[in-house]
Amino acid sequence: MILEILQSRFAAALTGLVDDVQPLLELIRPSQDPKFGDFQANMAMPLAKKLSKPPRDVAKQIVDALDIDDLCQPPELAGPGFINLRLKEEFLAELVRKSLDDEDRLGVPEVEPADRKTVVVDYSGPNVAKPMHVGHLRSTVIGNALAKMLRFAGHEVITDNHLGDWGTQFGMIIYGYRNFLDWAAYEKNPVQELSRVYRIVRQKVDEPNKEIADAVLAETAKLHAGDAENLKLWKEVLPNCTDEIDRIYKRLNISFDYVLGESFYHPMLQGVVDELLQKGIARESEGAVCVFFDGQEVPMLVRKKDGAFLYGTTDIATVEYRMKEFKPDAILILTDFRQSLHFEHLFATARLLGYDNVELSHIKFGTVLGEDGKPFKTRSGDTVGLESLLDEAESRALTVVKENDKAGLSEAEQRETARRIGLGAMTYADLSQNRESDYVFSYDKMLAMNGNTATYMQYAYARVRSIFSKGEIDIDALRKSGATIILSAPAERALAIELLKFDDALRHALRDYRPNVLTAYLFELANRYSTFFENCPVLKAEDAAVRTSRLLLCDLTARTIKKGLELLGIETVERM
- In angstroms, the CA 100 to CA 93 distance is 10
Kind of pairing, strands 28-30 and 76-78?
Answer: unpaired
> Which member of 62, 400, 486, 558 binds RNA (CB under 7 A)?
400
- The distance of closest approach from Cβ of residue 334 to RNA in the complex, given in angstroms and rounded to an integer, is 13
DSSP category for residue 288: E
Three-class secondary structure assignment of 41-68: ECCHHHHHHHHCCCHHHHHHHHHHHCCC
**Candidate segments 4-12, 130-138, 442-450, 478-486, binder of RNA by CB under 7 A:** 442-450
- Report phi then psi at 297, rounded to 5: -75, -45
- Residue 376 CB, shortest distance to RNA, in Å, is 11
Name which position in 8, 15, 481, 531 contacts RNA (CB under 7 A).
531
Among 210, 470, 490, 545, binds RNA (CB under 7 A): 470
Nearer Cβ to RNA, position 186 or 561?
561
Chain-centroid distance of CA 522 in Å reads: 14
Measured from the CB of residue 134, what is the shortest distance to RNA in angstroms? 14
* Edge-first strand listing for the sheet containing 76-78: 28-30, 39-41, 82-85, 76-78
Q: Which of 265, 365, 428, 533 binds RNA (CB under 7 A)?
A: 533
Of the ranges 67-75, 138-146, 269-277, 297-305, which one interacts with RNA (CB under 7 A)? 297-305
Please give the Cα distance from 284 to 291 (Å, whole number): 9
Nearer to RNA, 186 or 216 (CB): 216
User: What are residue 118's DSSP bridge partners?
Assistant: 156
Q: How far is the CB of 513 from RNA (least distance, A)?
A: 9
Return the number of the residue (65 or 78) whose C-beta is nearest RNA: 78
Q: Is 122 helix (H, G, I), strand (E, B) or coil?
A: strand
Stretch 491-530 residues interacting with RNA (CB under 7 A): 504, 508, 512, 514, 516-517, 520, 523, 527, 530
Where are the strands (E) in 45-148, listed by range?
A: 76-78, 82-85, 118-122
In angstroms, rounded to a whole number, what is the distance separating the alpha carbons of residues 169 and 198? 8
What's the closest the beta carbon of residue 183 comes to RNA, in angstroms?
27
Considering only residues 202 through 221, tell me which ones interact with RNA, judged by CB under 7 A. 217
Residue of 139, 140, 230, 455 interacting with RNA (CB under 7 A) = 455
Of 406, 408, 476, 482, the one binding RNA by CB under 7 A: 406
Q: Which member of 421, 446, 473, 561 binds RNA (CB under 7 A)?
A: 421
Map the footprint of RNA across residues 157-196, applying CB under 7 A.
Answer: 164, 167-169
Stretch that binds RNA, among 7-15, 133-141, 249-257, 446-454 (CB under 7 A): 446-454
Candidates 11, 15, 26, 69; binder of RNA (CB under 7 A) is 26
Task: State which of positions 299-328 bind RNA (CB under 7 A).
Answer: 299, 301, 303-306, 308, 310-311, 314
Site for RNA in 138-157 (CB under 7 A): none
Question: What is the number of alpha carbons within 13 Å of residue 11 lying toward its C-beta?
Answer: 12
Q: How many whole angstroms separate alpha carbon 219 and alpha carbon 554?
A: 62
The residue (of 159 and 168) whose beta carbon lies closer to RNA is 168
At closest approach, how far in Å is the CB of 147 from RNA?
Answer: 20
Q: Are strands 156-160 and 118-122 parallel, antiparallel or unpaired?
A: parallel
Residues composing the chain: 576
How would you classify the pairing of strands 82-85 and 39-41?
Answer: antiparallel
If DSSP states are collapsed to H, E and C, what string results for 307-372? CCECHHHHHHHHHHHHHHHHCCCEEEEEEEHHHHHHHHHHHHHHHHCCCCCCEEEEEEECCEECCC
Q: Which range in 60-68, 185-193, 326-334, 439-447 contacts RNA by CB under 7 A?
A: 439-447
Residues 106-135 that bind RNA (CB under 7 A): 127
Instruction: Please say which residue, 123 or 523, places its beta carbon nearer to RNA.
Output: 523
CA atoms within 13 A on the CB side of 502: 29
Of residues 28 through 87, those in contact with RNA by CB under 7 A are 29-33, 35-37, 40, 42, 45-46, 49, 55, 78-80, 82, 84
Coil/strand/helix, residue 273: helix
* Residues contacting residue 182 through CB under 8 Å, at least 6 positions apart: 193, 196
> Residue 258: beta bridge partners?
160
Handedness of CA 246, 201, 380, 136 (dihedral sign): negative
Closest approach, Cβ 239 to RNA, in A, equals: 20
Residue 504 vs 555, nearer CB to RNA: 504
Query: Between 384 and 418, whose beta carbon lies closer to RNA?
Result: 418
Residue 73 contacts residue 38 (beta carbons within 8 Å): no
Q: Which helix (H) or strand (E) holds 138?
A: helix 134-153
Cβ-based nearer residue to RNA, 18 or 288:
288
| Candidate residues 342, 377, 415, 479; the one interacting with RNA per rule CB under 7 A | 342
In this complex, which beta carbon is closest to RNA, that of residue 186 or of residue 570? 570
Residues 220-279 that bind RNA (CB under 7 A): 262
**One of 337, 361, 416, 479 touching RNA (CB under 7 A):** 337
CB closer to RNA, 186 vs 212: 212
CB 292 within 8 A of CB 324: no
Compute the distance between CA of residue 161 and CA of residue 62 in angstroms, rounded to an integer. Answer: 51
One residue of 240, 253, 339, 484 binding RNA per CB under 7 A: 339
Report the nearest approach of RNA to the CB of residue 402 (Å).
9
C-beta of 429 vs 567, nearer to RNA: 429
| The only residue of 433, 548, 557, 572 in contact with RNA, by rule CB under 7 A | 433
DSSP string, 217-234: HHHHHHHHHT-HHHHHHH
Please, what is the angle between helix 210-225 and helix 168-180, to 10°?
A: 110
Helix (H, G, I), strand (E, B) or coil at 227: coil
Number of residues counted as binding RNA (CB under 7 A): 106
Figure out which of the listed residues 401, 431, 454, 553 binds RNA, where binding follows CB under 7 A: 401
Residue 463 in the binding site for RNA (CB under 7 A): yes
Which residues are paired to 369 by β-bridges? 375, 440
**In terms of CB distance, is 18 or 185 closer to RNA?**
18
